[in-house]
Amino acid sequence: MGAVRDVLRRPLGHFTERTLAGLALVLGAGVGFGLLLVLVRVRWSPLYDVDHGVAEWLNDQVAPIGPLVTVLNAITDLGGRTVIIWLVTVAVVGLLIRRQGRLAVFLIATGVGALVLDPSLKTLVDRLRPEVDVPIGAYAGQSFPSGHALGSMVAYGALLLVFLPAMAPRWRRPAMALVATVVFLIGFTRVALGVHFLSDVIGAWLLGAAWLGVTAYAFRLWRLERGRPAAPLTEGLEPEAGHEVAPAPDEEKLLPHARAGIAEIIVGWVLVFGALYGFGMFVSYHADNTFLASLDETVPNWFAEQRTASLDDFSWWWSKVGDTHAILAISLVFCPLVLAIWRRWRPVLFVALTMFGELTLFLASAAAVDRPRPPVENLDGPMPTSSFPSGHIAASLCIWVAIAVIVFPRTDRWWRWVFVALAVVMPVGVAISRMYRGMHHPTDFMGAILLTSLWIGLLYWVVRPNEDVRQGNQPAIESEDVDTLDDELARAGQPG
């Protein structure tokens, strides 16, 4: 019996030795945050003077420089709730697909804890935001602690701990330095933009470090209870899962002939642009007394006669489906899922090149053709680009056709036809809404179809996004198992 106790004590003692310094840091962070919380709550004069002095000085330096303000706003968005929730959600879904339920639970618990701590502490302290001479941004709510600083510390730190095992040892320290730099810059922007005091950011960092340390320690105890060794945190939370959490661990080479492929894409882009320019110039300025000219005159006028208040609202919402934010959101959801399920970068490259090419071809063609909008009331008002081709329609076509091209040959399930239907319904809906709102001619829609067919055809020939399927690659979730997957969260929470 004594020998058994010695066997059990040995890993526990080893675990305690390895984590003693970490526990001290966590305890120090917690104590530091508690002390700062008290000083803020009682409005300690020296801290008040430092906070307001730093806020005023930074405002004087930053406010007059417009480009710097733009950069700071872009950086601060990395700590916003939208970006953080997207990152954690995509990571959780990917981990569940890869059967890493315990790591998914860690991310969920850590993230939910941060979401609870931020508003509750702000309500408790009830500190007003800084008042500066030249306000740069307006933010609602209380000031202490900074939600952006807390969220970035917890989310990026947790993601780093989860995905460290997927990195080669030589890249782990640079990854840690990069995450630390991002977290620091996000915190700095909150003070520089005049929406938080310095103590708000420092308090958020201390609280985030303490909370992340507590959840990481709990995860290591969880591992120990299941008989797994306690590895140092520099190797990540689950070193054994390195292969599973790597985005595309089974892919050796992205493209077999990269230089030739780049040359083919560049030449193809020029040829597609030439086709768009030729068609656009013809329908815009040389198609008089043709069927196309009659179509461009009749259809916008007919739509203008059908307008009602309810249809105006409906067309506005459907039109938004094709704008930049919606297309970007779809891409940022689809691409990580492709990586998680099929473990290949090539389909992601195909989508990225599709959307980059669509954007550049649209902008170049619109500038070169410079076609006026239809001669009816334009419900969206003046636009920065010309009418041909329609950017909304082209973007919708490109993203949904690209998704259908990737998904359809990779599964034999009935729902693959849903993506084919979406590749038709979504762009057609956007096209009707854009023409209804008087923003495009029917031949602008044709130009979007021409752009999509030529560009995606070129990329399919060069990139070959489904080559791994031809070579026998199988998804992480087999098609016949989609409807019968075990609940990884429930399994991860079971004892033993």
pLDDT class of 148 with cuts at 50, 70, 90: confident
Whether the CB-CB separation of 106 and 219 falls below 8 Å is answered with yes
Residue 21 pLDDT exceeds 60: no
Q: Is residue 441 part of a domain?
A: yes
User: Across all residues in the chain, what is the average pLDDT?
Assistant: 82
- Shortest CA distance to 358 belongs to which of 382, 387, 327, 404? 327
- pLDDT for 138 equals 63
Q: In terms of domains, do 62 and 204 share one?
A: yes
- Shortest CA distance to 296 belongs to which of 285, 308, 307? 285
pLDDT class of 11 with cuts at 50, 70, 90: very low
Mean of pLDDT values over 208-233: 78
pLDDT class of 15 with cuts at 50, 70, 90: very low
Query: Residue 476: is it exposed, middle or buried by C-beta count within 10 angstroms (0-12/13-18/19+)?
Result: middle
The residue segments making up the domain with residue 269 are 258-483
Q: In terms of domains, do 149 and 41 share one?
A: yes
- pLDDT for 203 equals 85
Cis peptide, bond prior to residue 375, ω within 30 of zero: no
Between 46 and 1, where is the model more confident?
Answer: 46
3-state secondary structure of 286: coil
Q: In terms of domains, do 56 and 169 share one?
A: yes
Q: Is residue 314 part of a domain?
A: yes
Residue 373 pLDDT exceeds 60: yes
Whether the CB-CB separation of 437 and 320 falls below 8 Å is answered with no
Q: Which of these three, 220, 245, 270, is where a domain ends? A: 245
How many CA atoms lie within 13 Å of 80's alpha carbon, on the beta-carbon side? 10
Rounded-to-integer distance, Cα 236 and Cα 483, Å: 32
- % pLDDT > 70, the chain: 85
Between 289 and 36, where is the model more confident?
Answer: 289
Q: Is residue 346 part of a domain?
A: yes
Q: In terms of domains, do 279 and 354 share one?
A: yes
Number of domains in the chain: 2
Residue 106 pLDDT exceeds 80: yes
> How far from 225 is each of 106, 218, 312, CA to CA, in Å?
16, 11, 61
- Shortest CA distance to 405 belongs to which of 473, 464, 325, 331? 464
- Shortest CA distance to 414 belongs to which of 350, 460, 482? 482
Rounded-to-integer distance, Cα 249 and Cα 369, Å: 45
Under 8 Å CB-to-CB from 215, ≥6 apart: which residues? 106, 109, 110, 113, 158
Q: Is residue 235 part of a domain?
A: yes
Q: In terms of domains, do 323 and 452 share one?
A: yes
Mean of pLDDT values over 300-327: 89
Under 8 Å CB-to-CB from 266, ≥6 apart: which residues? none
Rounded-to-integer distance, Cα 59 and Cα 192, Å: 6
pLDDT class of 12 with cuts at 50, 70, 90: very low
Highest mean pLDDT among 141-145, 240-244, 465-469: 465-469
Q: Is residue 9 part of a domain?
A: no
pLDDT class of 126 with cuts at 50, 70, 90: confident
Q: In terms of domains, do 142 and 231 share one?
A: yes
Residue reference for tokens 């070169």: 368
3-state secondary structure of 344: coil
Q: Is residue 34 part of a domain?
A: yes
pLDDT class of 120 with cuts at 50, 70, 90: confident
Whether the CB-CB separation of 280 and 369 falls below 8 Å is answered with yes
- pLDDT for 251 equals 65
Rounded-to-integer distance, Cα 157 and Cα 32, Å: 19
Between 21 and 444, where is the model more confident?
Answer: 444
Sign of CA pseudo-dihedral 431, 436, 440, 446: positive
pLDDT class of 275 with cuts at 50, 70, 90: very high
pLDDT class of 134 with cuts at 50, 70, 90: low
Rounded-to-integer distance, Cα 269 and Cα 363, Å: 13
Q: Is residue 119 part of a domain?
A: yes
Q: In terms of domains, do 162 and 233 share one?
A: yes
Q: In terms of domains, do 280 and 183 share one?
A: no
Ranges of beta strands (E only) in 197-321 are none
Rounded-to-integer distance, Cα 98 and Cα 27, Å: 34
- pLDDT for 441 equals 92
Question: What one-character-per-residue DSSP string does 199-233 give?
Answer: HHHHHHHHHHHHHHHHHHHHHHHHHHHTT-----G
Mean of pLDDT values over 119-142: 73
- pLDDT for 244 equals 79
Residue 20 pLDDT exceeds 60: no
Under 8 Å CB-to-CB from 196, ≥6 apart: which residues? 129, 130, 143, 146, 148, 149, 190
Q: Which of these three, 194, 224, 245, is where a domain ends? A: 245
Q: In terms of domains, do 136 and 24 share one?
A: yes
Mean of pLDDT values over 190-210: 85
- pLDDT for 137 equals 64
- Shortest CA distance to 211 belongs to which of 267, 151, 252? 151
Q: Is residue 48 part of a domain?
A: yes
Q: In terms of domains, do 145 and 292 share one?
A: no
Q: In terms of domains, do 295 and 406 share one?
A: yes
Residue 488 pLDDT exceeds 60: no
Q: In terms of domains, do 384 and 268 share one?
A: yes
- pLDDT for 479 equals 44
Least confident of 197-211, 227-241, 357-371, 392-406: 227-241
Residue reference for tokens 């008089």: 288
Q: Which of these three, 192, 220, 245, is where a domain ends? A: 245
- % pLDDT > 90, the chain: 29
Q: Which two tokens stand for residue 339?
A: 């990586």
